[in-house]
Chains A and B, each alone.
Chain A
Amino acid sequence: MYTAIMVLVVMVGIGAVFGFILALANKKFSMEVNPLIHIVEDALPKGQCGACGYAGCMAYAEAVVLNQEVPPNLCVPGKDAVAKAVAELTGKVAEQVEPRVAHIRCRGTVDKATSSYSYNGIEDCAAASLVQGGPKGCKNGCVGFGNCVGSCPFGAMTMGDKGLPIVDMKKCTGCGACEAACPKKVIQMISTNAHVKVDCNSKDKGAVARKVCTVACIGCGICVKNCSHGAIEVKDNLAVVDSKICVEKCSEATCFAKCPTGAINIASQIQVVQSATNLKATV
């Protein structure tokens, strides 16, 4: 009987002491969490891609609600719809988000680009790049093991049968996860309004570039001469388009027509009207 009473006393005692301490601590250390943070987080796509520059959607929601200087339009996958929703919730003015998509700056499929050796290691672009700059003849081209495909949080990329990744423009949100995953910096985010795009990343001299790939940019500069607005220049043997000048001044692109290797192309296929309906992440 004595034991039973003691058990009861001790258990109730311990429970009461801890309950009391916890209740006290809860009051003393209580933190006000702004309920708006969760509402804003719900409005975000939850791809956790980090394109906004924060660790994830939750971190961005917290920053945008608590910090007046954080703009509401940082969510790249969310585009205008999400920017507007976040702006409305936080009472900030939304500036337009420039919609972007991933652009693969390489057309060197297995039949067009040479390979310098046969690679037999780990099927990973970063790992393959460590061995003599990768198995491809062109050391700036796509390695083709699909690190970008694996990194896409929206399932917008697939590996084509000719060794180059294919971007599904309808699913691509322009978050830039693939850009970060590519060890060769072949992938670049470009504006969906872009008129032309350079489908090559080769920084080799013309003769070398041509030797390893039939569709490489050889840095000849014909496109530069054909552009009447001065939007193109050749940097490191590679044509670079200043998209701002290109989009604002040019209405009818002519630069790509004379390209001897077809490395510069009109960007019609990326000008797909993107709706905010396909935003939910697949992961």
Chain B
Amino acid sequence: MREYLALFIGSVIVNNFVLTRFLGLCIFFGVSKSLNASLGMGMAVTSVITLSSILAWVVYHFVLLPYGLTFMTTIVFVILIASFVQLLELIIKKQAPALYNMWGIYLVLIATNCIVLSVPILSVESNYGFGMSVVFAIGSGLGFALALVLMASLREKLVYADVPKALEGSGVAFIVAGMLSLAFLGFSGMI
């Protein structure tokens, strides 16, 4: 139980994927302009990471490992995740139109994002069991959502700030992201 909790907190805060590992930055800057959008994206990413991690774990442990094909991990996972997201999109579109209206545009963005690929890869590289890799995936997703929501709240306030002309928009967003990342550095060594 203890190690599960440690892994969870570790993946949410200490090893936050965006702010300490610098993954998923494309969505992080793209979707963090409004709080609502970032909440939707955070939820979508968390569920996609979790589901695709489960799938990836199964494929890795029952196909790649027994046949000694672990060097193929990356390319197999890419195919897995891309097709899985497509499948998810089709199902959600039909079964839950309300959810699709909220997630639709984000799902396509997620399909090719490095954070979704890196979680299953890190998870198999660390030799996590099934339970551990699920916890790791949920934690990473929530960590991403946390970073996104924090950034979106900051950027919504940033609109009212008197920013120098040259730094308006993306420039100041990068600076703020850097500061946020420095703040998260304070958690390092906690676990």
Whether chains A and B associate is yes
With a cutoff of 8 Å between Cβ atoms, the chain A residues found around residue B87 in the complex are 18, 21-22, 25
B162 touches A11 (CB 8 A): no
A11 to B162, CA, bound (A): 54
Q: Is B68 an interface residue (CB 8 A)?
A: yes
How would residues 99 to 142 of chain A score, 1 for a CB under 8 Å from any chain B CB and 0 otherwise?
00000000000000000000000111001000000000000000
Q: B39-79 CB contact bits vs A (8 Å, 1 = yes)?
A: 00000000000000000000100011001110010011001
User: How far, in whole Å, are A6 and B71 apart by their CA atoms in the complex?
Assistant: 12
Beyond contacts A25-B91, A29-B95: 12 other A-B pairs, Cβ-Cβ < 8 A, are A3-B69, A7-B69, A14-B59, A14-B76, A18-B84, A21-B87, A25-B90, A28-B94, A29-B94, A30-B94, A122-B160, A122-B162
Given known contacts A10-B69, A127-B160, is B79 in contact with A29 (CB within 8 Å)? no
B69 touching A29 by the CB < 8 A rule?
Answer: no
Q: Which of A27-46 contact B (CB under 8 A)?
A: 28-31
- Alpha-carbon distance between A89 and B186 when the two chains are bound, in angstroms: 61
Task: Let me know if A10 and B67 touch, CB within 8 A.
Answer: yes
Instruction: Tell me, yes or no, whether A91 is within 8 Å of chain B by CB.
Output: no
The 8 closest A-B CB pairs, nearest first, are A29-B94, A18-B83, A29-B90, A25-B90, A122-B160, A6-B67, A25-B87, A10-B69
Q: Any chain B CB within 8 A of the CB of A260? A: no
- Distance between Cα atoms of A29 and B80 in the complex (Å): 20
Cα separation A26 to B83 with both chains bound (whole Å)? 12
Give A29 to B69 CA distance when docked, in angstroms.
34
Chain A: CB-nearest residue to B82: A18
* A18 vs B95: C-alpha distance when bound (angstroms): 20
Chain B interface mostly:
helix
Residue in A15, A26, A29, A30 whose Cβ sees the most chain B Cβ within 10 Å = A29
Contact B83 A31 (CB under 8 A): no
Q: How far is the CA of A6 from the CA of B67 in the complex (A)?
A: 7
CB of B170 closer than 8 Å to a CB of A: no
- Interchain residue pairs with CB less than 8 A apart (20): A6-B67, A6-B68, A6-B69, A7-B69, A7-B72, A10-B63, A10-B72, A10-B76, A14-B80, A15-B79, A18-B84, A18-B87, A22-B83, A22-B86, A26-B90, A28-B94, A29-B94, A30-B94, A31-B93, A124-B160
* Shortest beta-carbon distance from B48 to chain A in Å: 16
CA of A123 to CA of B94 in the docked complex: distance in angstroms? Answer: 46
Contact partners of B63 in chain A: CB under 8 A: 10, 14
Which residue of chain B has its CB nearest to the CB of A6? B67
Residues of A within 8 A of B91 (CB): 25, 29
Q: Does B191 contact A (CB under 8 A)?
A: no
How far apart sit A3 and B71, CA to CA, in the bound complex (Å)?
11
Chain B residues with CB under 8 A of A7: 69, 72
Q: Which residues of B contact A28 (CB under 8 A)?
A: 94
Least CB distance from A94 to B in Å reads 28
Most buried by A among B59, B87, B95: B87
Q: Give the distance in Å from the alpha carbon of A26 to the alpha carbon of B59 in the complex.
A: 23
Nearest-Cβ distance from residue B76 to partner chain A, whole angstroms: 6
CB under 8 Å from chain B, chain A span 194-224: none
Given contacts A22-B87, A25-B90, A29-B94, A10 and B64 within 8 Å (CB-CB): yes
B190 in the interface (beta carbon within 8 A): no
Residues of chain B contacted by A22 (CB below 8 angstroms): 83, 86-87, 90
**Segment 221-263 of A: residues with Cβ below 8 Å from B:** none
B1 surroundings in chain A (CB, below 8 A): none
Interface presence of B161 (CB below 8 A): yes
**Interface set, chain A 20-75, CB cutoff 8 A to B:** 21-22, 25-26, 28-31
Q: What residue of chain A has the Cβ atom nearest to residue B94's Cβ?
A: A29
Measured between beta carbons, the chain A residues less than 8 angstroms from B72 are: 7, 10-11
Chain A residue nearest to B159 (CB atoms) is A124
Contacting residues, chain B, for A30 (C-beta < 8 A):
94
